[in-house]
Amino acid sequence: MTNKKYTIVTYGCQMNEHDSEKISWILETMGYKWTDNKEESDFIIYNTCLVRENAELKVYGQLGALKDLKRKNPDLILAVCGCMMQQEEARDIILSKYKHVDIIFGTGNIHKLPQLISRYHQINRTVVDIVEDNREIVEDIEANRKYSFKAFVNIMYGCNNFCTYCIVPYTRGREKSRKPENIIKEIEDLAKKGYKEITLLGQNVNSYGKTLGYDYSFANLLEDVNKIEGIARIRFMTSHPKDLSDELIQSIAKLDKVCEHLHLPVQSGSNKVLKEMNRKYTKGDYLTLIEKIKNAVPDIAISTDIIVGFPGETEEDFNETLDLIKKVRYDSAFTFLYSVRKGTIAAKMENQVPDEIKHERFQRLLDTLYPIFYEENLKYADKIVEVLVEEVSKNNENVLTGRTRHGKLIHFEGSKELIGNLVNVKVEKIKSFTLEGSII
Ligand code: 5AD
Ligand code: SF4
């Protein structure tokens, strides 16, 4: 195959971003080359998300817009994969209204893409391949990674928690941990290639190891990854508060490469809402955890996910969330308006919160969070921070951007040869979402 080009459009979380890096690797081993331009693509693939409604609607919009392109270029292959395709209803909509889509597959069978493409060529009509829950983890797909110095590494797949608002356990199946030796081997290979920062990915990394059949925890994994020469920074996402053990807190504190940043989604500060969400902790439990982690790692940066307007959320419940935010003093947060995800338990709850109340609370949530982000950033004024240089700023080619160990985005002047290196930067200016400084 010569000169075939592909485009991947990715929606959603880091898990999807990393899946797209794997799809890219598969397509490139088949001889395809990347292009940003859909007009010159021979293969366009949408890797979809179901967590937010607007991501879903965007996909339909984009697919509709591609009808013309497909008419002009009948050889163009159009594929849709990812979480949306795990849902029968979304598949049916594509099959009935977007008949120009050629290949549909799910989250558990990315490795089958070459077979699906040849099957499509054989039968010349839409190929659908979905596995509800992959029992075996497929190890032999590599990833064509976006960066050459920081990498996502899956440590587990799926989720067993069934938070009542969340579609992920239905789209990604039951929790399964990769074998530690496979993870370590992948990271050792990355270290040999010069990678410095690793983000360990899973829906609930704190429960890593439970499906292995022997005694090996996430804390053990962190210890083993910490030993890998060449790796300077270890991050991980996402931690569920119910599984954040004392052992893990101690590992975060003692392991030098584990960054001083914890993403610990709280979702709500109301005990009633937390119960309805099936989160299995109370506001008090969460605050105790925060106290423990701050005692163990005093300068730790804490980020979170918060949902506003979960069914039945009253003004009082919402005020509990605001109160919790003021107590924890987050460094950053992903904020969400609750949206009904069909198939989840919360979708059937009757006391849905009206949109205007959700929006009004959302604004108050941001008004509470933003000053705290700014005040927390003030701690870094005049400090010297270690930064992994990531890219040239989009607005100014003399300015570089990177991240500190605490996960703070920082801008500073420098030449692009520094990308991928660790540098020391003196912080000179503080904003709510970024820092500015100079290399020293
Ligand atoms: N509505 C709003 N936010 C949601 N999230 C997951 N499902 C929903 C939903 N139905 C948010 C949660 C989760 C993050 C990844 O997305 O906060 O932690
Ligand atoms: Fe969804 Fe809860 Fe699992 Fe996270 S822990 S993926 S929010 S069900």
**Res. 22: pLDDT tops 80:** yes
- Provide the pLDDT confidence category of residue 132 given band limits of 50, 70 and 90: confident
**Res. 1: pLDDT tops 60:** no
Going from the Cα of 240 to the center of ligand 2, the distance in angstroms, rounded, reads: 8
Please state the length of the chain.
440
Closest C-alpha to ligand 1, atom 18: 305
397: left (phi over 0), alpha (psi -120 to 50) or beta: alpha
Which amino acid is present at 168?
A: V
- Provide the pLDDT confidence category of residue 434 given band limits of 50, 70 and 90: very high
Sequential DSSP letters for 239-292: --GGG--HHHHHHHHH-TTB-SEEE---B-S-HHHHHHTT----HHHHHHHHHH
* DSSP conformational letter for 86: G
The CA distance from 205 to 44, in Å, is 32
pLDDT single digits (tens) 140-157? 788 999 999 999 999 999
What Rg value do the Cα atoms of the chain yield, rounded? 22
What is the chain's mean pLDDT, rounded?
95
**Res. 208: pLDDT tops 90:** yes
- Provide the pLDDT confidence category of residue 2 given band limits of 50, 70 and 90: low
Q: Is 365 in the pocket of ligand 1 (CB under 6 A)?
A: no
Closest C-alpha to ligand 2, atom 1: 166
Going from the Cα of 46 to the center of ligand 1, the distance in angstroms, rounded, reads: 21
Task: Give the closest ligand to the alpha carbon of residue 338.
Answer: 1
Q: Is 170 in the pocket of ligand 1 (CB under 6 A)?
A: no
Interior/surface letters 45-76, b for 16+ CB within 10 angstroms, e for the rest: bbbbbbbeeebbebbbeebeebeeebeeeeeb
Going from the Cα of 162 to the center of ligand 2, the distance in angstroms, rounded, reads: 6
- Provide the pLDDT confidence category of residue 34 given band limits of 50, 70 and 90: very high
Ligand 1 nearest-atom number relative to CA 344 = 10
Q: Is 265 in the pocket of ligand 1 (CB under 6 A)?
A: yes
- Provide the pLDDT confidence category of residue 96 given band limits of 50, 70 and 90: very high
User: Is-contact 260 301, C-beta < 8 A?
Assistant: yes
The CA distance from 106 to 19, in Å, is 11
Q: Which of 294, 139, 155 is nearest to 219 (CA)?
A: 155
Going from the Cα of 142 to the center of ligand 1, the distance in angstroms, rounded, reads: 29
Task: Give the closest ligand to the alpha carbon of residue 165.
Answer: 1
Q: Write a three-state SS string for 159-189.
A: CCCCCCCCCHHHHCCCCEECCHHHHHHHHHH
Do 5-129 and 147-259 have matching folds?
A: no
Residues paired with 156 in a beta bridge? 177
pLDDT single digits (tens) 296-315? 999 999 999 999 999 999 99
Going from the Cα of 357 to the center of ligand 2, the distance in angstroms, rounded, reads: 25
Output 324 or 74, whichever has higher pLDDT.
324
User: Would the annotation count 259 as a binding residue?
Assistant: no
Residue 292 in tokens: 């423990």
Q: Is 51 in the pocket of ligand 1 (CB under 6 A)?
A: yes
Sequential DSSP letters for 305-371: EEEE--TT--HHHHHHHHHHHHHH--SEEEEEE----TTSSGGG-S-PPPHHHHHHHHHHHHHHHHH
Please state the rounded mean pLDDT for residues 182-206: 96
Write the CA distances from 193 to 115, 145, 151, 324, integer angstroms. Answer: 30, 12, 11, 43
Residues with CB under 6 A from ligand 2: 159, 161-163, 166, 168-169, 203-204, 240
Closest C-alpha to ligand 2, atom 4: 203
Distance of CA 315 to the CA centre of its chain: 30
pLDDT for res 52: 76
Residue 426 in tokens: 């003196």
User: Would the annotation count 13 as a binding residue?
Assistant: yes
pLDDT single digits (tens) 358-390? 999 999 999 999 999 999 999 999 999 999 999
Proportion of the chain above pLDDT 70, given as a percent:
99
The CA distance from 206 to 208, in Å, is 5
Q: Report domain 381-439's class.
A: mainly beta
pLDDT for res 204: 93
pLDDT single digits (tens) 36-84? 999 999 999 999 998 877 888 899 999 999 999 999 998 999 999 999 9
**Res. 254: pLDDT tops 90:** yes
Please state the rounded mean pLDDT for residues 153-168: 94
pLDDT for res 51: 84
Reply yes or no on domain 147-259 having CATH 3.40.190.10. no
Ligand 1 site-directed mutation target among 204, 240, 305, most atoms within 8 Å of CB? 305
Please state the rounded mean pLDDT for residues 5-13: 95
Which amino acid is present at 146?
A: K
Domain boundaries, the chain: 5-129, 147-259, 381-439
The CA distance from 7 to 439, in Å, is 37
Dihedral angle of Cα 361, 365, 367, 368, to the nearest 10 degrees: 130
Task: Give the closest ligand to the alpha carbon of residue 241.
Answer: 2
Ligand 1 site-directed mutation target among 13, 14, 16, 165, most atoms within 8 Å of CB? 165
133 Cβ partners below 8 Å, 6+ apart? 108, 158, 173, 174
- List the beta strands (DSSP E) in 16-144: 33-34, 43-48, 77-82, 103-105, 127-129
Going from the Cα of 217 to the center of ligand 1, the distance in angstroms, rounded, reads: 26
Residue 280 in tokens: 């299995």
pLDDT for res 134: 66
Ligand 2 site-directed mutation target among 161, 268, 310, 336, most atoms within 8 Å of CB? 161
Going from the Cα of 171 to the center of ligand 1, the distance in angstroms, rounded, reads: 14
User: Would the annotation count 81 as a binding residue?
Assistant: no
Q: Which of 276, 282, 211, 295 is nearest to 242 (CA)?
A: 282
Reply yes or no on domain 5-129 having CATH 3.40.50.12160. yes
Residue 59 in tokens: 């996909």
